[in-house]
Amino acid sequence: MANGGEKIEFENDQVKVVRVKLGKREKHPARARNDRVIIWLTDSHHVRTEPNGKKEELRRKAGDVVWRTASQHQVENLSEDQQEVVVVELKK
């Protein structure tokens, strides 16, 4: 996970905690995630694309925390800096 990727930090029968890093201009593979909380560890400028082609360009600050419902999506880092988040995904 030097430039980008995912690392499972913790997992049990109720949650999975994943650290996600995206290198500059890196595109993360499309994936499905359950309901989750996302905590930004770095500032972020990224685009989130759904399977139907709908795109959402977002900016987040380090320390931001958001709730997302289950979805399938792809994320692309639009900045020249590495981005890092922690995802706390609920298991159903």
Q: Region 19-28: what's the mean pLDDT? A: 94
3-state SS of the chain is: CCCCEEEEEEECCCEEEEEEEECCCCEEEEEEECCEEEEECCCEEEEEECCCCCEEEEEECCCCEEEECCEEEEEEECCCCCEEEEEEEECC
Does residue 14 lie in a domain region?
Answer: yes
Q: For residues 48 and 63, give the distance between their C-alpha atoms in angstroms, rounded to a whole number.
A: 19
Task: Look at 3-12, 15-24, 36-45, 64-73 and tell me which has the smallest mean pLDDT.
Answer: 3-12
Q: Mean pLDDT for the chain?
A: 94
CATH code, domain carrying 79: 2.60.120.10
In terms of residue numbers, what domain contains 48? Answer: 5-86
Residue 92 maps to a domain: no
Q: 40 lies in a domain?
A: yes
What is the number of domains present in the chain? Answer: 1
The fraction of the chain above a pLDDT of 90, given in percent, is 89
pLDDT digits (tens, 9 = 90+) for 49-92: 999 999 999 999 999 999 999 999 999 999 999 999 999 999 97
Residue 91 maps to a domain:
no
**Does the residue 28 lie in any domain?**
yes
